[in-house]
Amino acid sequence: MKFYSETSSTETRIPMSNFLREVSEDETIQTVLDGLTCDHKHISSKYFYDETGSKLFEEITRLPEYYLTRTEQIILERSSFQIAGKLKNVDIIELGSGGSSKISLLLNSVPAESRGSVRYIPVDISQAAIENSAQILIRNFPGLKIHGVIADFEKQLNRIPGDANRLICFFGSTIGNLSRKESHKFMGDLGRTLQPGGMLLLGVDRVKDRDMLEKAYNDNKKITEKFNRNILNVANNLAGTDFDPDMFEHIAFYNEDHSRIEMHLKAKERMRIFCPYLNSKIIIEKGETIHTENSHKFTSRHIEELALAGGLEIHNIFSDRNKWFSLIQFRKNV
Ligand code: AVJ
């Protein structure tokens, strides 16, 4: 379905496609409840991002301990000319676009005279996020074409428009939320959507010392704690449960065997959770945990495995001087 964004008089309308309604509400409820009624309780980290969760995440990106976003932005600033300095006739697809700041750093390097041949395609589950960032980009990059896509990019990659030459951007180390196996499958999917010569720009957080990693997910201001607990509010809204987030403790630690940060919520007391879609209550024992996130970190080996899984060549690796974070430019071979 294609439509045009709602606007106030000073705004420009941009074309939008919404494929999200095809992922049914029932399916979401089922997924959430499956995770809460099995042996090792879990809620997928993709449910963190309701309005409150997205705001909390924004706040996290500004925390001194959370070096990821800041570092990736520095890398983008320094590498954008090399990546985008000669771009033309291309669809730039940004997966999980959220705000406009990262893509702006890239667009800064696209020559103004090529802008007319460049189309920006933000893909996000939030229509508001796409509309807001589109308005900013239209103002800052006159001539740029934008087509917003509301979709769950993990499931709906094939719905993304663009038959032209593609540059796919997947920033923020969000790929780290997938298991290694899922990330390889996803790379395969991404690789298949690229034509020969097409590029993928992937942000990945690197394996580093435990202390620095754990501090990034246990910040002093306890914003990450709020962010973690908020997923129970999201579950309540999606599945009608009656979790009290304050009855859970925030746990985040580095699991070295899997090179990943894990986040969990640990029950302070035994509790019985009501759900209108279940005929018995969900029992949570005191001390029992709900696994809410894996955030995988990457070694050079992991990066090579991603390339292999995607059938892509590693064209460039841009990192900060401490090698805390990397932006990998993959290229599909002819
Ligand atoms: C958005 C998935 C990259 O894993 O660092 C931040 C989310 N979780 N603090 C991450 C997150 C806790 C973030 N990603």
The 10s digit of each residue's pLDDT in 252-286 is 999 999 999 999 999 999 999 999 999 999 999 99
Q: What angle (nearest 5°) sits at the alpha carbon of residue 275, between those of residues 274 and 277?
A: 150
pLDDT at 162 > cutoff 70: yes
Distance 11 CA to ligand 1 centre (A): 32
Give the separation between CA 187 and CA 183, rounded to whole angstroms: 6
Q: How confident is the model at residue 328 (pLDDT cuts 50, 70, 90)?
A: very high
* Residue ID of nearest Cα to ligand 1 atom 3: 174
* Cα 325 from Cα 203, distance rounded (Å): 7
Nearest CA to ligand 1 atom 13: 174
> Is residue 105 helix, strand or coil?
helix
Report the alpha-carbon distance of residue 71 to residue 326 in Å, rounded.
Answer: 9
| Residue 9 pLDDT class (50, 70, 90 cuts) | low
Q: What is the pLDDT of residue 7?
A: 64
Cβ of residue 173 lying under 6 Å from some atom of ligand 1: yes
Tell me the pLDDT tens digit for each residue of 74-129. Answer: 999 999 999 999 999 999 999 987 778 899 999 999 999 999 999 999 999 888 88
The amino acid sitting at 64 is: P
Q: Whole-angstrom Cα distance, residue 78 to residue 139?
A: 23
What's the chain's average pLDDT? 94
Residue 101: the pLDDT is 86
Measured N-to-C along each axis, helices 67-84 and 51-61 cross at an angle, to the nearest 10 degrees, of: 80
pTM above 0.85, yes or no: yes
Quick one: what percent of the chain has pLDDT higher than 70? 97
Collapsing DSSP to helix, strand or coil, 50 comes out as coil
Separation between Cα atoms, residue 276 and residue 5, nearest integer Å: 35
Beta-ladder partners of 199:
167, 331
* Ligand 1 centroid from CA 186, angstroms: 18
| Listed residue (50, 60, 29) closest to 277, CA to CA | 29
Q: State the distance from the centre of ligand 1 to the C-alpha of 103, rounded, in angstroms.
A: 19
